[in-house]
Structure 1
Amino acid sequence: MPEHADKHIGTHLRTIRKRRGLSQKALADASGVSVSLIRQLEQGTVEGTRMETAHKLATALRVTTSTLLERDDDPQSSATTEAWRPLQLAVQVAPLAGTEEPTVQGVSAILPDVRRAYFSNRLTELTTLLAPALRDADALGDEPAARALRAHLLQIAGSVLTQVREFDAAETALQRALDDSPDRLRAAAVITTWSWLLVRQGRLRESRELATRWADDVEPRMSRATPEELAAWGWLLLQASAANLRDNRRGEADDTMRLARSVAVMTGRELPRGRERLTTWGPVTVGYKAAERHIVLDQPDRVIAGARTGSQQASTEYHRHRLDVARAHTMMRQHGEAVDVLVSINAAAPEWLASQRYAQDIMGVVVEQRRTLTPEMRELADALSVPL
């Protein structure tokens, strides 16, 4: 499971465990989480744990995952690294007046390069392009074309900042993108990204409520729904399902996933990324999300059995799916196979993979469980900054 429970959950964990009359050993037996990790979480000696672990603990304690993750002081994400500082400033700080006034046409001319860098997972190049483009877009005023362009750039910024765990700046970008969205399709696309951000932060209740509310609002009339309207609705359903599943609301998760599958069938084909969407949509994409569900539900054999190895290899959705396949292999102690999958992703999208905490977790499991590491494993661990 890729997301992290970045907040300390120890206080809530200890309180609820004692309320249930469980020892740390009894909770470990019920959840499958080690006694040592439970002890470290309760003592606050580790800064967080994987969402997968939080989900297992919450399931054993019969509470929602949100109950363990919520806290009053709501700390911000870690300090911004220098690599992402220009993008963070472009999102969060008003630009200074320049000597030359940018134009919609001029900024629009940069957009194809921004999208190519984003879809190719060239994050360093993307930041170089995106930060000045946002500065110029901020100076364009409030004409509809300017707002649409700015919303698009801000959504891309929000997605990238979420990937690299700059959550505060990501939320600012997405709030601004929603404010500038010229229509419901753009707004729905922004909300899809925002719901994902909330899951990454462990704010599961907020994520499912946001996605569900918007899915209800944008549900199209089936007799005349366009493919883009179906895609917008379908992605909101997927996000609602993902948040519900992680928050131990299995029935609601199953219901929304079934509806999303039906929407994909109604779409009838796999839609490439479009003008409004940063993602593909259709039966293949829904299949990727189904694999993610099997990871959450501890069904790695089903992930491997249904693994898609030849579809949409250039897309982020495909790479994200392959991480689930690698995780499934580690869950079955198939470390060589897991490394093979990571190596293939690294060959296609090295910058993207290096920014994925999920990939670091998977490689960390390999390092921890293997007695000896092959040269290939050591090289991959170095690429992902995983200590040996």
Structure 2
Amino acid sequence: MPQWSDYSNGERIKILRGTEIAQGDLAEKTGLSIATIQAAEQDKRLSLPTLMKLAAALSVDTSVIVGQQAPRRAMRQEDRTMMRDLSHAVHDTATGTPPVVEAPDLDELAKITRQGWELYWKGHYSEVGSLAAPLLRSAAARLYEQPVGEQSEAWGAVADAYRICAYVANLMGVRDLAYAAIGHAQRAAENAGDQLRQALVTSGRSWVYLRDARLPEALELAEKAAVDIEPRFSRATPEQLTVYGSHVNFAAVVASRMGNKDRAADYLSQSHAAGARMGREVRAHGTLFGPVSASTQAVGINVSLGQTGKALALIEEISKDDTGQLSEAAQHRYALDKAMAQADAKMWDASLDTLEGALRSAPHWARHQALPQVIVSKVGRASTTRLRRVSKLIGAGPAMSGFPAPTPKTAL
């Protein structure tokens, strides 16, 4: 597969423009002539002012066009535009300058935040990001309008908005922005004086570390978040158990990625205990947890530990009625874990059937996931027709990037 640096500047511009933007549309967005656009794409002429205008219109850094940095994986034009606005919102609000937007009341901010989490758990990450930027600006505006001494709830709203921004950035692979947003969320949660929010942010930071392959730090933070809010089961509210259960489950996930079976088993035990105590799935503070969540996530944890038999045994116990209680994103993630377990068990066709079902039911979600490509790489003896069909859905193999072959440098 060609590397991003293998292309010429003109080829990179054309690839970034894609089929979504015609040359005429790009000319209109930049204020440049079509002839200038054509010259840039043909590597005949690319001045610095033209480069700057093209980068802004295509929602990328100039370093991406000149090949110093590759574009983000699975990012389309609308994703890049959304992430650019999200980045501006995160960094601008952190400067301490009041945003020039209307400040909704706290109830309205809470309502919008819940809408954001609903979209998130449906797997509509681009939509969440488009909502998160104005939410953060509005929450910051409310904070500045609150009287001194009455800012705790507003700080909480700001913390929630930063946390959503961090989660979107982390999923999109924009790690620097994820680190920045979760750091601002931590400060806001501390100013809110809310221990539960602080634990949620700590867990969020742990997830950023996990995606950045910083496993020891991720486990340390995940454990801290769980311990800080561990409730007494006899007195705990469903909300407290939801947050605690999701935290210990995540600690089990991190432990499994480190290959620590004993630690993972201990946290899984606590997760199942919390789920059993709840008796049903409950949504709270942007998360969903209950007995079904504990069981389905245990499948992925056992897969990570190489305990395929345990994973398949759990799958046999989980019904469609059970998974129907989960959020859409959690259902899709469970399907991928199931497909991975089947692949590890050399159930090639069953694995591809499960994977294909997830890809077809949630293409908007699947394009932000790396696991489908891993599953396909494991499947070695499936039906060739089925394998090609699934590979086409995820773009596996040489055509994965969707880029054309680069023109040989000697011909440029």
TM-score of the two chains, using structure 1 as the length reference = 0.70
User: Does the alignment pair 1:380 with 2:408?
Assistant: no
The aligned residue for residue 128 of structure 1 is 130
In the alignment, the residues of structure 2 paired with residue 85 and residue 379 of structure 1 have an alpha-carbon distance, to the nearest angstrom, of 34
In the alignment, the residues of structure 1 paired with residue 119 and residue 258 of structure 2 have an alpha-carbon distance, to the nearest angstrom, of 34
In the alignment, the residues of structure 2 paired with residue 256 and residue 378 of structure 1 have an alpha-carbon distance, to the nearest angstrom, of 39
Alignment of 1:186-335 (within 5 A): 186-267=197-278, 269-274=279-284, 276=285, 278-307=286-315, 308-310=318-320, 311=323, 312=325, 314-335=327-348
- The Cα shift of 1:356 comes to 0.4
The aligned residue for residue 144 of structure 1 is 152
SS of the equivalent of 2:197 reads helix
* CA pair 240-112 structure 1, distance change in 2 beyond 3 A: closer
2:105 aligned partner, one-letter code: V
- The Cα shift of 1:109 comes to 5.3
SS of the equivalent of 1:273 reads strand
In the alignment, the residues of structure 2 paired with residue 98 and residue 195 of structure 1 have an alpha-carbon distance, to the nearest angstrom, of 29
Are the aligned partners of 2:139 and 2:154 in contact in 1 as well (CA < 8 Å)? yes
Q: Which runs of 5+ in 1 are unaligned?
A: 1-76
In the alignment, the residues of structure 2 paired with residue 216 and residue 124 of structure 1 have an alpha-carbon distance, to the nearest angstrom, of 33
SS of the equivalent of 2:142 reads coil
1:101 aligned partner, one-letter code: E
Alignment of 1:49-60 (within 5 A): none
Are the aligned partners of 2:239 and 2:282 in contact in 1 as well (CA < 8 Å)? no
Match of 1:114 among 106, 112, 116: 116
SS of the equivalent of 2:384 reads coil
Name which one, 1 or 2, has greater alpha-carbon Rg: 2
- The Cα shift of 1:185 comes to 1.9
Residues 163-191 of structure 1 show CA distances to partners (whole Å, capped at 9, x for unaligned) of 22222211222222222223122222222
In the alignment, the residues of structure 2 paired with residue 261 and residue 97 of structure 1 have an alpha-carbon distance, to the nearest angstrom, of 45
The aligned residue for residue 62 of structure 1 is none
SS of the equivalent of 1:355 reads coil
SS of the equivalent of 2:356 reads helix
Are the aligned partners of 1:104 and 1:145 in contact in 2 as well (CA < 8 Å)? no
SS of the equivalent of 1:220 reads coil
- The Cα shift of 1:161 comes to 1.9
SS of the equivalent of 2:240 reads helix
Are the aligned partners of 2:312 and 2:342 in contact in 1 as well (CA < 8 Å)? yes
In the alignment, the residues of structure 1 paired with residue 241 and residue 294 of structure 2 have an alpha-carbon distance, to the nearest angstrom, of 13
- The Cα shift of 1:206 comes to 0.8
Identity of aligned residues (%): 27
- The Cα shift of 1:323 comes to 0.7
In the alignment, the residues of structure 2 paired with residue 112 and residue 253 of structure 1 have an alpha-carbon distance, to the nearest angstrom, of 31
In the alignment, the residues of structure 2 paired with residue 255 and residue 138 of structure 1 have an alpha-carbon distance, to the nearest angstrom, of 40
- The Cα shift of 1:226 comes to 1.6
Are the aligned partners of 2:243 and 2:287 in contact in 1 as well (CA < 8 Å)? no
2:341 aligned partner, one-letter code: A
1:242 aligned partner, one-letter code: V
- The Cα shift of 1:353 comes to 0.9
* CA pair 114-262 structure 1, distance change in 2 beyond 3 A: closer
* CA pair 97-224 structure 1, distance change in 2 beyond 3 A: closer
1:91 aligned partner, one-letter code: V
Q: Which runs of 5+ in 2 are unaligned?
A: 1-68, 145-150, 399-412
* CA pair 384-87 structure 1, distance change in 2 beyond 3 A: farther
In the alignment, the residues of structure 1 paired with residue 260 and residue 313 of structure 2 have an alpha-carbon distance, to the nearest angstrom, of 25
Residues 350-386 of structure 1 show CA distances to partners (whole Å, capped at 9, x for unaligned) of 11111001122223334xx258632x54343233232
* CA pair 331-371 structure 1, distance change in 2 beyond 3 A: closer
Are the aligned partners of 2:179 and 2:205 in contact in 1 as well (CA < 8 Å)? yes
Are the aligned partners of 1:270 and 1:280 in contact in 2 as well (CA < 8 Å)? no
Are the aligned partners of 2:98 and 2:140 in contact in 1 as well (CA < 8 Å)? no
* CA pair 99-192 structure 1, distance change in 2 beyond 3 A: closer
SS of the equivalent of 1:141 reads helix
Across the two proteins, how many residue pairs are aligned to each other? 306
* CA pair 108-313 structure 1, distance change in 2 beyond 3 A: closer
* CA pair 111-239 structure 1, distance change in 2 beyond 3 A: closer
The aligned residue for residue 34 of structure 1 is none
The aligned residue for residue 88 of structure 1 is 87
Are the aligned partners of 1:271 and 1:282 in contact in 2 as well (CA < 8 Å)? yes
TM-score of the two chains, using structure 2 as the length reference = 0.66
The aligned residue for residue 41 of structure 2 is none
In the alignment, the residues of structure 1 paired with residue 387 and residue 373 of structure 2 have an alpha-carbon distance, to the nearest angstrom, of 12
2:333 aligned partner, one-letter code: R
Are the aligned partners of 1:137 and 1:146 in contact in 2 as well (CA < 8 Å)? yes
The aligned residue for residue 103 of structure 2 is 102
